[in-house]
Structure 1
């Protein structure tokens, strides 16, 4: 068989990897799964008698849809280590992983399910022929769904990435360092709306810098400016704006208003910036929860000890953190559980026109369900139609942003929303 024919044959099969050190398990499983097919594709069973052998197989076959893994093999935690290898080294989050054990005391189900990114956990004695069939078919369906969503997400991200002016980093940094924030920044406010009550619950500050290359967002400016005095000045100006408007809006309303601000969290790894931010927050007199910092996945995942300490210190002062653009990049349940942001913002590529797109619907439901599982507030970003807003409301998403609810405006114009019974106008 030539390579092209082999590739066609491989694509026509679902690969299932069985990892177990008991030969009888392989014999029985092979008999049970013999002749099994799903959606017109046969199931091919790959066998490994150890975690080490499984690693070799996975190195050769990157399209394994399901791995049935014994917990205790060459070591007491060989199966657990293999799970970590798949998720962390291979970075395969599509593969469905089901753990099987004959010694439940070695790895209690509750601990394993919470700590590791797996899709099922069973006692070997509980797996009948019918149960094994059900496990395999369900896993293949989930694998197919995960892959289709990921491919759709990647296509949408590529289409959604806006064209930004091609500004040489050094020249842009020099221009920003010599600019005055008060004159060079166009600051807008984006209301956050509680979908269940249609009330304004918070405001996101959206700065754009006026440069020789046009208006640039905070992320672009942050990439251009290295840590140092110029960036620290910019960050503290943004933080001062957030504190000022939070106090002003809260005094007018008679209740605390949460204000979210970008770029500040991304600069906490710099010791001087962190100390200045902490001092500003302490002196602000804001209520707990009144200040929220928008932060990227990369920053929250950082292993930098100064960054972890900075996040912990600011949380102790009542500052919250919102994970931005959730869904646009690969992040596992285990990672998200370790990050524990207070809120997450669902990327607008899964929000806009969601009511008319089944794939976006499925992805949005998954992201909302994940947030609810971890008790994290979800925000639908970029709502542009009533039907999309209604979809997220029905699905239990707490907050929404976008023109369908309340358009971005100058900070001074936010009073209209707040004083009108905290209701967003349509």
Structure 2
């Protein structure tokens, strides 16, 4: 029989396999929420929220907000909120992508986010995302597709043709990374939209597609998530940043006891700055909070003042081969606990009040806690935490699971950390006390 941790990681691996794009991630989360009794709301309709009710909504098909109205403590008493993001660095197909060189059919791609490009070479790649199309009755529709099979690769240049490759090889994203899909016959021309037309008919035989209009598609690594290491210490997968946190927050929400009011937000576009209708800099969360609070401006002010957000986004584990890239007192180790992220310049939104509450809850669960501060002579990344704190005015904590190879096509985390984080988030959702220090 599997332990709770093994079962959690098995579910995480399954989620990562199905959530190949932000659209597919939200689709999977919607299925799990519906199975857990959450009701879908539409933003353009009126809401009738009930104490004890469980609800969710989506925006753009790539962002999601799920929340529960506490049966004992309503939203005016404060929301226990968890935030994550659905997107990951990747290669997205350009609008007119067809390329033919030396008889090979390739697709032009654009780098999305701060991708670590070297690991994309010599991988088995597939393609997934959203396609818009016109039906035969002239109706506009969209559908998700996922080729699943390895349909492309980006071959490396042999070292014989670049003897300095191991010393100094830079990547030109315009020239060096267009994936190779197949070989072409003489005179044959590639038609990517026709390829998508056929894929739509294959995955959605009743879609009645007349013409493919446009798409948002990205390449991804087909290698499945796996438990690796001599003693099974690690989980290796694409998109751990930040689908691991989406799964962890969702898992904790499904174990909500119904007493206090809770919320999970998973935003798209974090990797490119969050400024979009579906991103954390957009109006999604604020709009939902105002509708939960009602028309009374004082009620909304009370809600935000009494609430707290835990922004969950992976942290940098100290690499055994590059330990000097960390502050000597702040090098998080995999499987030694989730990491509180702190930055004096507010690149992370943690403060002594929010970190104190997290440490208290973690101690109650017997979960170890680590902290991360970037080296003072290095630039610091950021998360949706400061964006949410600054936009909504809610006290916020930045937390994350320590990870190797962040923004690589295949990242590495510890098998204990995500499960431990889920236990603390569950306790946070079920916490009956005040979210502010007295």
**TM-score for both structures, normalised by structure 1:** 0.24
More helix by share: 1
**TM-score for both structures, normalised by structure 2:** 0.24
More strand by share: 2
Question: Greater RCO between the two (CA within 8 Å, min separation 6)?
Answer: 2
